[in-house]
Amino acid sequence: MKKVALITGASGALGHAIALRLAQDGYDLALHYRSGEEEAQHLAADLQRQGIRALPVQADICLQEEVDKMIEVVEQELGPLSVVVNNAGLVRDRTIAKLTDEDWDIVLDTNLRGAFHVCKAAVQRMRPRKSGRIVNISSIVGAMGNYGQINYAASKAGLIGLTKSLAKEVARDQVTVNAVCPGFMDTPMVRGVPEAVQEKLVAQIPLGRFGEPSAVGEAVAYLAGPGGDWVTGQVLHVNGGMYM
């Protein structure tokens, strides 16, 4: 039986790259989305043409009951979960003077509470099997902060703390929990900011260029694969040398 991986936020650029990389390692894939149904369906179709079982699944990860149902459906359709990648996230960037409670809540709920819900549901199934890998996608912003992103930074820093603490809880059951912190990647989100801002961002990167989303896929594949067997509670920075 093939191993099964669930990727949240699979309709986005990083989720897409992670899915393609895990497909190379032969995983069957559950592709979570909240509102990006068209993108998730297209990705699933592409993978299915390659002989990969790919299942688009919709859920609001801010709600534990929807997450529980999603994982139940995934295991019924594809089989026991081997890997979970918490990649879903969003931004609502404003300086603190303009940041509203709603801006704070929606970012923390999606980026941190959502990951907590997915982790909780996943470990309940992984622990009795004495096997499982969880990879949480944090951010360079969670490690070093960024102007106008206190809500996003708080959510991603919180995800690092969640990762390290959960790793200690489930290690005895042979479940590993790690985080990947991407830097500024060549995604539509980054390319959508003004060119002058892009130039300032690149100037901060020692390697002198934005990262390719595939680099994040490679990091996830390492932590999910044989090489990550004795790695847990760690944060893997993929950022061109910005934060060492």
User: Which of 27, 33, 147, 152 is the catalytic position?
Assistant: 152
The per-residue pLDDT for range 202-223, each reduced to its tens digit, is 999 999 999 999 999 999 999 9
Secondary structure (DSSP) of 170-223: HGGGTEEEEEEEE-SBSSHHHHTS-HHHHHHHHHT-TTSSPBPHHHHHHHHHHH
Helix axes 150-170, 101-108, angle to 10 degrees: 30
pLDDT of residue 244 exceeding 60, the answer is: no
Residue 193, pLDDT score: 83
Look up the pTM and report it: 0.96
4-238 has which fold?
A: Rossmann fold (3.40.50)
**Residues 108, 204, 151, CA angle at the centre, nearest 5°?**
10
Query: Averaged over 13-41, what is the pLDDT?
Result: 96
Query: Averaged over 55-63, what is the pLDDT?
Result: 98
The per-residue pLDDT for range 158-184, each reduced to its tens digit, is 999 999 999 999 999 999 999 999 999
Q: Is 33 a catalytic residue?
A: no
Domains of the chain, by residue range, sit at 4-238
The per-residue pLDDT for range 83-97, each reduced to its tens digit, is 999 999 999 999 999
